[in-house]
Every structure is written in C-alpha cells, then in structure tokens.
Amino acid sequence: MTVQERFNPDALIATAVEQAGSDDFGADGWQQGLELVADGMVNEARLSAIGVEVAYLDLIRALTSRLGVIAWRKQHPEIAGRPIDSPIFIVGQPRTGTTILYDLLAQDPELRAPLTWEVDAPCPVPQPETYHTDPRIAQAQASIEMSEQIIPGFLKFHPMGALVGQECVRITASEFTSMIFPVQYRVPTYARWLMYDADHTGAYRFHRIFLEHLQSGVPGQWLLKSPAHLWQLDKLLAEYPDALVVQTHRDPLNVISSIAALTNHLRRMGSDETNIAECAAQSYEEIVVGLDRGMALRDKGVVPDGQMIDVQFTDFMQDPWNTIGDIYQKLGRELKPEAERKMRDFLAEHPGDGGRGRYTWSDTGLDAGEVRERVSAYQERYCVPTEELR
C-alpha cells in the first residue's frame, strides 16, 4: 500500500469505523481538517518508514476516540449537558512553565485533570475504583516509553506519563483542529489553515463533549492546560463563559528557541529530514500571532478581568510556592495542607533541569533584533523581563 493510499481520508475513516464498530462521528465540520492533515502527511511531512506508521496510528486513534465517545454518549444520553463549572485553564506561550504549573496544581485532590491514559483511551468511561489501576494505564505508559526509545531524550524535553495530566490539544485532535499536528509533523499548509482560516468552534464543542464523557465516571472541577488556547480565547470563553484563565508570561525569544528545539526533537520520531531553523521559523510566526491575538482579545474584554490571572515565568521559577499561593488567592481557593504537601512531593521528585544545553538562540537562524522589536509591545504590556539568550 502506498503512502497516498495509507492516508486517503476515506480509507482512514473506513478503518476507524471498522475498529470502533460505529459510524456516527457526531456533528460535521471535522472533515476538512482531516483532509488537510492527511494531505500534509503525504506531500509535506517527509515521513520516514516508521513515521508513516506513527502518523497513521495518530490519525486512527483520533478517529476511533471520537467514534467511541459519540457512541457512548448515545448509549448514555444522561451525561450530555451536565454542568462544567468554572473550569481552570492554564494558557500562555509554550515552554513558559505551563507544564510544571499544571502538574503541580493537578496534585490538588479537589481539582480534576484529564490524565494521559484516559484521553488516549476514553472508552469505557473511567471509574473511580479503578482510576489508578485500569489496564489502559500500562498500555499508555508502554506507548510513552516506546516514544523514548524511538527518540532518546524526548521525555527530558517534555515529561509525560500515563498518570500525568494531558493537554487539550490531544482532545481536540479528534476534531482535526489542533496544534498537536503541526508541532509533531511538518505540515505547513495545515498549520497556516489552523492559524488563519480554521473555525475552532467545533473543536471547543467537542472538547466539552469529551469532558462530559470523562466526568460522568470521575467528577471534579476541571483543571486544563494548553498553550494553544491563547490563540483562541474568544472560542474558549464562548464555550466556557465562567472559565478561570491562568496565563504564563516569558521572554518570547527564549520561548521560540526552546519550542523550536522541542518541535525538531518531536518531528524526529516521524522524519529523518527535520531541522531547528525550519521549526523556529514556524514557531516565530505562531508565537507572534498568538501574543498579538491574545492581547487584542483581552483588550476587547473577551476574558473578564476577574477571570484572568497573569503569572511571570521568572517569578514562578524563583519561588513556585509564592506564585501558587497567589494563584489560589486570586482563584478564591484555599490551598489546603494536603494539597501543598502533594505539590511539594511532586516537585521534589521532578526538579527539572531548566533545559540546559538543549537549545540555543544561534540554532534558530533568526535575527534577535528583529524578533525583539516584534515582541516589544507584548513585553511592555505585561512587564515581561528580557532574559539572556541561551
């Protein structure tokens, strides 16, 4: 079978339908994204032989997850429309401490993060009594460890685990309107469509459907995370008008070089032809568009001031506990001793290394002066300190 045949959208859909035993994908609108990303896999992604298999499985998983969730919903109509009250979303540029902040807040027993294993295999609905022993946990962990074998060092760049909170882009992948695809694969046509032309309304609609599905088994106040939300604050707030949004801020130049290195590393899983400079050019455009769009949307009052919390990366790195205490105060929540103990234990077990030696500005091929000028309005707006370039 040729690569073109492998990524034929109709063939992908037929395979997913056969595997899931259902042909109801729910509301339309996702097909264009599938067509664009599938075309990108064939004509732009420069996939290796193993990359073809990895990408194929990614698309099939996105389709079968959607089919499974919709089928379950039809069998259990009572889960639809159950309230999702005051979900907390961590947003901000990639590589600004969003992951460790998310992981720490997720230690709070009163907050509910979607874990990697249940996002990757949502059916049947997770149950409280097996939430930490479900056999899908071992399957998800094995898949993560296989990724580390394919590209050694991957988990140092972006720590993951079956029992760790997963990003929303993994959920919206099933709508095929997700930043996960242009980060993991070189699909520039899809990336431009996603950034400038795609209507993300359907992605947030499916996001809610997915959360309703998971919380029908294990409830709680949702804690969610994805830098991609920064680009779509209006769509996020249209779907979740009472959302609480935490935006992290960091010098965009070190963000660009860090995300470029991560993107290049991720793409090595599926391609033998990737380079940091190309990834940096994409990251530069995305970051600038995201920051400008985020500022414009906030100026329009899309996110009410009382629902927005700004966090400086440098402050968080220097004193995480003061930052977390401040977040809880602004959220109107009490940081209980048990939650703080769990957070401190987690940080002690996952100290991180600050990304030393994994990326440098010189790798990007970008003009630092030009980029600095382009992001100056953002830095001035949020008093973001300029860091020494790595």
Task: Give yes or no for residue 145 having a pLDDT over 70.
Answer: yes
Report the predicted TM-score, pTM, of the whole model to 2 decimal places: 0.95
**DSSP category for residue 389:** P
Residues 111-125 pLDDT 10s: 999 999 999 999 999
Res 354 pLDDT > 80: no
* Reported confidence tier of residue 127, pLDDT bands at 50, 70, 90: very high
pLDDT of residue 102: 96
- Please tell me the predicted confidence (pLDDT) of residue 172: 98
Q: What is the pLDDT of residue 81?
A: 82
What is the spatial distance between Cα 270 and Cα 329, in angstroms, rounded to a whole number? 44
Give the tokens for residue 85: 């009250």
Reported as type and span, the H/E element at residue 41 is helix 31-43
Is residue 62 in some structural domain?
Answer: no
Query: What is d(CA 143, CA 123) in angstroms, rounded to the nearest whole number?
Result: 18
Number of neighbouring beta carbons within 10 Å of residue 353: 8
Identify whether 330 is part of a domain. Answer: yes
Structure tokens at 314: 């440098």
Q: Is residue 389 part of a domain?
A: no
Contact between 362 and 227 (Cβ < 8 Å): no
Domain membership of residue 334 (yes or no) is yes
What is the average pLDDT score of the chain?
94
In a domain, 154, yes or no: yes
Q: How far apart are CA 21 and CA 18, in angstroms?
A: 5
Q: Is residue 50 part of a domain?
A: no
What's residue 305's pLDDT?
85
Strands (DSSP E) found in 111-160: 111-112
pLDDT digits (tens, 9 = 90+) for 40-50: 999 999 999 99
- Select from 278, 96, 262 the least CA-distant residue to 183: 262
Q: Considering the domain boundaries, does residue 55 fall inside one?
A: no
| CATH, residue 340 | 3.40.50.300
Contact by Cβ (8 Å): 124, 376 = no
pLDDT in tens, 149-207: 877 777 776 678 899 999 999 999 999 999 999 999 999 999 999 999 999 999 999 99
pLDDT band at 358 (very low <50, low <70, confident <90, very high): low
Is residue 209 in a domain?
A: yes
Calculate mean pLDDT across residues 294-300: 94
In sequence order, the 6+-apart residues with CB closer than 8 A to the CB of 119 are 166, 170, 171
pLDDT given at position 353: 53
Domain around 322: 86-167+199-382
- If one counts the domains in the chain, the total is 1
